A = this chain, B = another copy of it.
């Protein structure tokens, strides 16, 4: 009778499905059906089983379930090294949404540059996760293609580059956000509005630039390439860009920075030059990360619904995991202009 346990039975072991079945006087199959809500179970036995489950605080062992059913209840989320504050808001949204589905996040750091090819795969797949939510610093298409070829199900949140049509994505409405911001500056009376962009090959840059141009065009303002400066998303880049702008013979009266760190950098260089924000120069950022509330004056910025993006990513992924007949979805979530103190009326005409 006494089975040979092949590992030391530590205390604190929890109830198994077999014990629950025994206590409830049913078979383990029935318990499984109750737990998963699958198949036929009479109300009477269901209630009996549920009561035993509650009493013993039983929850299914995830490893066993993963092994048997092929689904682990775990979702892999890549953790990019950069932009940590930005990132954690997305993750919070993801965690929240998954929690309600009784699933968990497994973090897969993308640390070293070149182990990714193999690494991403091994980390995310093979009995570890059911699917992935990828928040990548920059996509390299080949890894994504490999993942796809293995049939791995994943969603890219906040894509940086343009990627395969068939990959579902969630992003912010970049161009309309940029349009909003620019339009607001125009309404304040600014006509000479500079832009500090991210790297030109990135999607966010491209789309925000489109919104910026669209707003200018609508207002009948001719864009001046001299006051559109490409940078690198970092504070320091913002400082340099800001400095460069005020070297010009005809400096701008407003700056639209394509993310918050750039805006902060620009603001610092403006202040360093002895100019005042917003009296002399108005500044608008993009993202609404925590930084925007830490800066003086408080930064007017375009809020990306980051947590929402995480939640939406989860719901796309779930659709992917359930129906395998999916149409590749690309969701864009609306942005919102948050007016704070770094913007003011343009120059009197």
Query: Which of A67, A96, A267 counts the most chain B CB atoms within 10 A?
Result: A67
Chain A 111-154 against B: per-residue CB contact (8 Å), 1 yes, 0 no?
A: 10000001001110111100000000000000000000111100
Q: A7-B69, A106-B106 are in contact. Are A62 and B128 (CB under 8 A)?
A: yes
CB-CB under 8 A from A157, the residues of chain B are none
Instruction: Give Cα A152 to B12, complex, Å.
Output: 8
Query: Which of A81, A88, A235, A268 counts the most chain B CB atoms within 10 A?
Result: A88
- Stretch with Cβ within 8 A of B (4 or more), from A182-190, A200-208, A243-251, A288-296: A288-296
* CB–CB A14/B128 < 8 A: no
The reply to whether the CB of A41 lies closer than 8 angstroms to some CB of chain B is no
Q: How many residues of A contact B (CB 8 A)?
A: 62
CB-CB under 8 A from A84, the residues of chain B are 85, 88-89, 92, 290
The reply to whether the CB of A197 lies closer than 8 angstroms to some CB of chain B is no
* CB–CB B107/A7 < 8 A: no
CB-CB under 8 A from A11, the residues of chain B are 150-151
Instruction: Give Cα A296 to B123, complex, Å.
Output: 41
The reply to whether the CB of A27 lies closer than 8 angstroms to some CB of chain B is no
Instruction: Give Cα A264 to B126, complex, Å.
Output: 46
Instruction: Give Cα A235 to B290, complex, Å.
Output: 11
Instruction: Give Cα A54 to B294, complex, Å.
Output: 50
* CB–CB A81/B92 < 8 A: yes
Q: Which residue of B lies closest to A72 (CB)?
A: B63
* CB–CB A10/B96 < 8 A: no
The reply to whether the CB of A326 lies closer than 8 angstroms to some CB of chain B is no
CB-CB under 8 A from A108, the residues of chain B are 104
CB-CB under 8 A from A309, the residues of chain B are none
A10 to chain B, nearest CB (A): 6
Known: A64-B67, A81-B92, A99-B111. 10 other contacts (CB 8 A): A12-B152, A62-B66, A62-B72, A62-B126, A63-B64, A66-B66, A74-B106, A95-B109, A99-B109, A235-B294
Q: B-contacting residues of A (Cβ < 8 Å)?
A: 7, 10-12, 14, 57, 59, 61-67, 69-70, 72, 74, 77, 79, 81, 84-85, 87-89, 91-92, 95-96, 99, 104-109, 111, 118, 121-123, 125-128, 149-152, 235, 261, 264, 267-268, 271, 290-291, 293-296
Instruction: Show 17 residue pairs from A and B whose CB-CB distance is below 8 angstroms, ordered by the A residue.
Output: A11-B151, A14-B125, A62-B128, A63-B63, A63-B65, A63-B66, A63-B72, A63-B128, A66-B66, A77-B107, A84-B92, A88-B88, A95-B111, A99-B111, A104-B123, A107-B107, A268-B296
